[in-house]
Structure 1
Amino acid sequence: MNFHASHALIGGNIQRNVLIEIEDGRITAVVPSTPAGAAMRLRGLVLPGLANVHSHAFHRVLRGHTHAGRGSFWTWRTRMYEVAAALDPDSYYLLARAVYGEMAMAGITAVGEFHYLHHAPDGARYNDPNAMGEALMAAAAEAGIRITLLDTLYLTSSADGRPPEGVQVRFSDGSFDAWAERVEALKPLPRALIGAAAHSVRAVPPADLAALAGRSPLHIHLSEQRAENEQCQAVHGCTPTELVRRHGILGPATTVVHATHLTKADIAALDGTGVCVCPTTERDLADGIGPARALTGLSLGSDSHAVIDLFEEARALEMDQRLATEERGHFTVAELVAAATNHAAIGWPDAGAIEPGRRADLVAVSLDSVRTAGADPAQAMLAATAADITHVVADGRLIVDDSGHTGFDVARALREAATAWKRSAA
């Protein structure tokens, strides 16, 4: 199927009446100022597919349940662990399918799933040790988006090496070798990749951090909380950034997530390493505002899914810096779009642009909603929300049509998944 965009972002510029020809899921030609002919018309502004670089699918259950009242990341984590303790492969599939369907409707065509919910609640392995990861890949396939399963190493509960506690036992394989053996047995589905992650410097001892070097893509939570920095300093005598630098896991194949509480030396050490920022989660959990403007290789994630809207994440990247500095204009619109379409951070460098040879990922954004009417199309990224997305094409397949998912009723699926989780938790 070919598509015709009334406006499209091509090479950083807005072009009009663009014919986009597709074959075998790839863009073969992009021709501005051309009639639609038999191509399907996409009205509004057409952008490349968006990349959600950091997701914990099971956190979606907590939306609308944990935002009121006082507390911190650590009090929120107690509620999150209650969800983690209840899910099994069947209920996780139902939940993830619904969450990835919501992502598709938000224009996300690829997700990096930071996956550490590996085993049964008591830590025992399922008959298929990868049942939970396979449920996530099947869920993404059903929702029509690509997935990079960032299978996560989790061995300790604190930087001083205490063993996993409580529900954390289901996160752990017991040793690096046992984790690596299980990951090696993963069989990715089509349009899925297997990557790796270290949960954090709290959860992975230094020797095992070093053993991860060379894996690609490789992700790690880094300096999300001041308490993490303080514990790392007390045990290892350095910041988390310096610890991972010493053990060789920084570089272009690595993405650190959050990077909120950094020293000047940390910022310098991260030059050339990707950084994924998750603004809505970071503000929801009262994490703080990081030095995003000083960092390189930026990407965006919805993390705990308090909101699934990469327009909101991109805007917040700029707005948070305004709050921190009391100045405007830290990022150009082009830089915000680049962060929202950074598929390379999760191993898909052939996506993220509307040009020949790239994956045919297209997102049509209405220019006549109550949010976007009258806006300059070149600044639609700063006006639109996920609710303004009308059509989404992933690898040449139409997965959202007229603001609805083509495969299933996503709102109903989310309700049913929440009900299934509550039954599991009872």
Structure 2
Amino acid sequence: MSNLFFASALLPDGWAEDVLVTVDERGRIVSATPGAACPADAERFAGAAVAGIANLHSHAHQRAIAGMGESSGEGSDSFWSWREVMYRALDRMEPEDFEAVAAQLYVETLKAGFTAIAEFHYLHHDRDGRPYADPAEMSHRAVAAARTAGLPITLLPVLYNASGFGGTPPTAGQRRFIHDGAGFARLTESLRGAYGESSDVRLGIAPHSLRAVTDELLTETVAANPQGPIHIHIAEQRREVEDCLAFRSSRPVEHLLDTQPVDGRWCLIHATHMTGAEVAGVAASGAVTGLCLTTEANLGDGFFAAESYMAQGGRWGIGSDSHISVSPVEELRWLEYGARLTSERRTVLAGGPRRSTARRLVEDAQAGGAQATGFEAGRIAAGLRADIVVLDTDHPLLAARKGDALLDGWIFAGNTPLVRDVVIAGRAIVRDRRHPREEEIADRFKKTLGRLLG
């Protein structure tokens, strides 16, 4: 057992002061007691504690190319032109390069206030498209990077089999991603053997998208994986919707809901372009939508129907996706500001009168992230993981604020990082804004980028 003592903390019943959190040897909370005296053996935290938020959508390798796709091309640019830039940039990445990039990203992720990450991992094979001697080589590198940083990871190996609807053959730029059903089954079986009992790793699957996996292969793969999260890209761009309509005479979300057992195991990444009926269907299914606002804005994808979806009780979480930004603050702020810009109103997503907008956003993202990653977390409560973020209440941007006003300040008061400490499974990983291995990891990252991009 260990004791953590917080000057204030957001508990399920609301804000409390002098909170003693007792944690067992597995990193789970035994009790959270407000109004307590601080034991002599407790680790003290001066700021305001809130449960962490899971980052539910990551392509770690893309951190290496953040900002590279910002020069205009010959014609109109879109997701599809950016994708070709991304493919070319991956040609030189070796396993040790990927691990170095992922470790840097994961340290940034922790310091920003995320306390778990779902790695939607599709960079599987060698540069020529052939499997490594160990086909799970790159997956092991993702886990190694997460463990170096101290960040819990939900590993989502991606099934990528085609370049378009109807099983269109993959392009040369996709050669490092491709599996058939049998190869993917061997990969997932290997990963279950390696990490099935790990406390810091959760395993799921990620059929890449309806355009990259046929209906038959998707059904076969879902049936072969009856446990763990299922994440899928869907309805991110209008062209994807148009191509699906041309091929099937149905829209992507409509088709998925009609043909798959979509429930609380599923996380629908982006789901940007939905009809009202699709919004209602996803909300009723219990699935989580994975919103990646900074990436969606960067790629010009469009804006999610947040107000309608949330009004119907839809579950959602946030991810940093391409990692042009690694910040829960920016993702949540974009969500609310996008809703304001499209509705021409304020506090659109607060969920009712006299409510803190930030608290509603933070609590929904905590719950959705925990569900989509499979980590039992998202609140400071007995039985859940002690994954906790401590806000710096001494910072001028949070001066004189109490309770929900601290969350509103964190999300809406400015761009200065306000996370001071991060606790993972009861152990302080970030203390006073510093990760103990950040210099070593950053140095390796810089050398790696010098070789890849120089």
* Fold match (TM-score > 0.5): yes
Q: Deviations over 1:108-152 (max 9, x none)?
A: 221100011110121101000000001001111111111111111
For the 8 Å contact 1:311–1:382, the answer to whether it is kept is: no
1:338 aligns with 2:363: yes
Q: What's the offset of the Cα at 1:318?
A: 1.5
1:283 aligned to which of 297, 300, 307? 297
For the 8 Å contact 2:136–2:187, the answer to whether it is kept is: yes
SS in 2 for 1:110: strand
1:57 aligned to which of 60, 76, 89? 60
Which has the larger displacement, 363-372 or 351-360?
Answer: 363-372
1:202 aligns with 2:228: no
Partners in 2 of 1:93 and 1:353 — Cα distance? 31
Unaligned runs of 5+ in 2: 351-357
Partners in 1 of 2:13 and 2:56 — Cα distance? 21
For the 8 Å contact 1:154–1:203, the answer to whether it is kept is: yes
Q: What's the offset of the Cα at 1:386?
A: 7.3
SS in 1 for 2:324: coil
SS in 1 for 2:448: helix
Q: In the alignment, what sits opposite 2:379?
A: 353
Which has the larger displacement, 76-85 or 359-368?
Answer: 76-85
Q: What's the offset of the Cα at 1:50?
A: 1.7
Q: What's the offset of the Cα at 1:265?
A: 2.1
For the 8 Å contact 2:420–2:432, the answer to whether it is kept is: yes
Partners in 2 of 1:41 and 1:403 — Cα distance? 15
Pairing 1:378-393 to 2, within 5 Å after superposition? 378-384=404-410, 387-393=417-423
SS in 2 for 1:260: coil
2:265 aligned to which of 253, 258, 265? 253
1:309 aligned to which of 318, 324, 327? 327
SS in 2 for 1:304: coil
Q: Which amino acid aligns with 1:225?
A: Q
Q: Which amino acid aligns with 1:419?
A: K
For the 8 Å contact 2:232–2:267, the answer to whether it is kept is: yes
Partners in 1 of 2:396 and 2:117 — Cα distance? 29
Q: What's the offset of the Cα at 1:294?
A: 2.6
Q: In the alignment, what sits opposite 1:47?
A: 50
Change over 3 Å in CA distance of 1:128–1:307 after alignment to 2: same
For the 8 Å contact 2:423–2:430, the answer to whether it is kept is: yes
Q: What's the offset of the Cα at 1:376?
A: 4.1
Q: In the alignment, what sits opposite 1:423?
A: 451
Q: What's the offset of the Cα at 1:53?
A: 0.5
Percentage identity across aligned positions?
34
1:329 aligns with 2:347: yes
Q: What's the offset of the Cα at 1:201?
A: 1.3
Q: In the alignment, what sits opposite 2:353?
A: none
Unaligned runs of 5+ in 1: none
The TM-score with structure 2 as length reference comes to 0.88
Q: Which amino acid aligns with 2:146?
A: A
Partners in 2 of 1:285 and 1:36 — Cα distance? 49
Pairing 1:363-378 to 2, within 5 Å after superposition? 363-378=389-404
Q: In the alignment, what sits opposite 2:20?
A: 19
Partners in 2 of 1:85 and 1:243 — Cα distance? 34
For the 8 Å contact 1:368–1:374, the answer to whether it is kept is: no
Which has the larger displacement, 69-78 or 294-303?
Answer: 69-78
Partners in 1 of 2:340 and 2:55 — Cα distance? 23
Pairing 1:157-236 to 2, within 5 Å after superposition? 157-173=163-179, 175-186=180-191, 187-188=194-195, 189-214=198-223, 215=225, 216-236=228-248
Change over 3 Å in CA distance of 1:40–1:419 after alignment to 2: same
Q: What's the offset of the Cα at 1:69?
A: 4.6
Q: What's the offset of the Cα at 1:331?
A: 2.3
1:90 aligns with 2:96: yes
1:4 aligns with 2:5: yes
SS in 1 for 2:417: helix
1:319 aligned to which of 337, 343, 354? 337
Q: What's the offset of the Cα at 1:42?
A: 1.2
Q: In the alignment, what sits opposite 2:107?
A: 101
For the 8 Å contact 1:4–1:18, the answer to whether it is kept is: yes
Q: What's the offset of the Cα at 1:105?
A: 1.0
CA RMSD of aligned residues (A): 1.9
Q: In the alignment, what sits opposite 1:409?
A: 438
Change over 3 Å in CA distance of 1:380–1:67 after alignment to 2: farther
Q: In the alignment, what sits opposite 1:154?
A: 160
For the 8 Å contact 2:117–2:373, the answer to whether it is kept is: no
Change over 3 Å in CA distance of 1:64–1:425 after alignment to 2: closer
1:274 aligns with 2:299: no
Q: Which amino acid aligns with 2:447?
A: T
Q: What's the offset of the Cα at 1:18?
A: 0.9
Partners in 2 of 1:416 and 1:67 — Cα distance? 25
Which has the larger displacement, 30-39 or 52-61?
Answer: 30-39
Which has the larger displacement, 46-55 or 382-391?
Answer: 382-391
For the 8 Å contact 1:210–1:249, the answer to whether it is kept is: no
Change over 3 Å in CA distance of 1:374–1:62 after alignment to 2: farther
Q: What's the offset of the Cα at 1:16?
A: 1.1
For the 8 Å contact 1:311–1:386, the answer to whether it is kept is: no
Which has the larger displacement, 254-263 or 237-246?
Answer: 237-246
The TM-score with structure 1 as length reference comes to 0.94
SS in 2 for 1:185: helix
Q: In the alignment, what sits opposite 2:254?
A: 242
Which has the larger displacement, 71-80 or 356-365?
Answer: 71-80
2:317 aligned to which of 273, 295, 299? 299
For the 8 Å contact 1:61–1:418, the answer to whether it is kept is: no
